[in-house]
Amino acid sequence: MRILVTGGAGFIGSHYVRTLLGGGYPAYAGAAVTVLDKLTYSGNRDNLASVSDAVTFVEGDICDTDLVEQLMPGHDAVVHFAAESHVDRSILGAGPFVTTNVIGTQVLLDAARRAGVGRFLHVSTDEVYGSIDEGSWTEEWPLQPNSPYSASKAGSDLLVLAYHRTHGMEVVVTRCSNNYGHYQFPEKVIPLFVTNLIDGEQVPLYGDGGNIRDWLHVSDHCAGIQLALEKGRAGEVYNIGGGRELTNRELTEVLLEATGRDWSAVRPVEDRKGHDRRYSLSHEKISDELGYAPAVTFEAGIAATVAWYKENRSWWEPLKTRAAL
């Protein structure tokens, strides 16, 4: 079996690749892996250093039709992580998000269809649902994205599902809640706050800090993706949640305690434009159908994540310096 993983040098994609090649997904033992990654600011080949000898790595853009058409034949499945994913960056400029997330997905779908690829798994986000005051989203919830990023992901989701209905492709879409863990680029809230706090700097807290997110450890997310890849029904969407909701203020308090800082390290800032108030995913469908259950408690996951950033300054410090975060 041969798997094409797009965005496999990024945070979530590299975790998936390391786990697969490390024997973490027994049904895919012995699978060969091709990683296609553009190596933009958030892609890092160092994330794959431990499995570099086992990966066929191709540096390239999913929007490059010729490259993708040449690369796709011979693969049995595609796991599509590659995306522009930072909301703040999408507010500053939506163009790269539409190009990569929508057009890039279309290029991959067309190439996979022509090559006869057996299964196409598209990794998406809970942000496509918008914001929810009470209860939790199921997969049947209407898409109501509120940022250019989430709108571009909603567009790519619909495109993927359309290829199932139009062409009969074996596609599956997963939508996850907020991820955290090792190797996450330090523009995202947990690694940004942790690394700032480690360095004695302040952290920016949007608005009143009351925005609520469901937190999911990257290993649980990737386990859910693998279940959907192996056993998910074609043409279906599966939510993958962590089951731990926190306000941003509560999350900040956890990170302050974990790094030995206090609230003097917090700098209130003007709220983000169009900031969704609450995300909450129901993962009942993937649990009932495929046997998914989060395995990493938030307390254990955060402790391990903070420890990793404390011990791996050589990984994140150059990234923060280069990006001037």
Known catalytic residue at 292? no
Three-class SS state of 124: strand
Which of the following is catalytic: 37, 84, 126, 245?
A: 126
User: What's the rounded Cα separation, in Å, for the pair 305 and 301?
Assistant: 6
Which of the following is catalytic: 127, 139, 245, 276?
A: 127
Known catalytic residue at 127? yes
In a 13 Å sphere around the CA of 75, the CA atoms on its Cβ side amount to: 28
Compute and round to an integer the Cα radius of gyration of the chain.
19
User: What's the rounded Cα separation, in Å, for the pair 319 and 325?
Assistant: 9
Of 226, 250, 260, nearest to 298 by C-alpha is 250
What's at 71, amino acid-wise? L
Q: Residue 97: phi, psi to the nearest 5?
A: -70, -45
Which of the following is catalytic: 149, 163, 180, 292?
A: 149
Known catalytic residue at 28? no
Q: Residue 178: phi, psi to the nearest 5?
A: -60, 125
Convert 45-63 to b/e letters by CB count within 10 Å (16 or more is b): bebbeebeeebebbebbbb
* Active site members: 126-127, 149
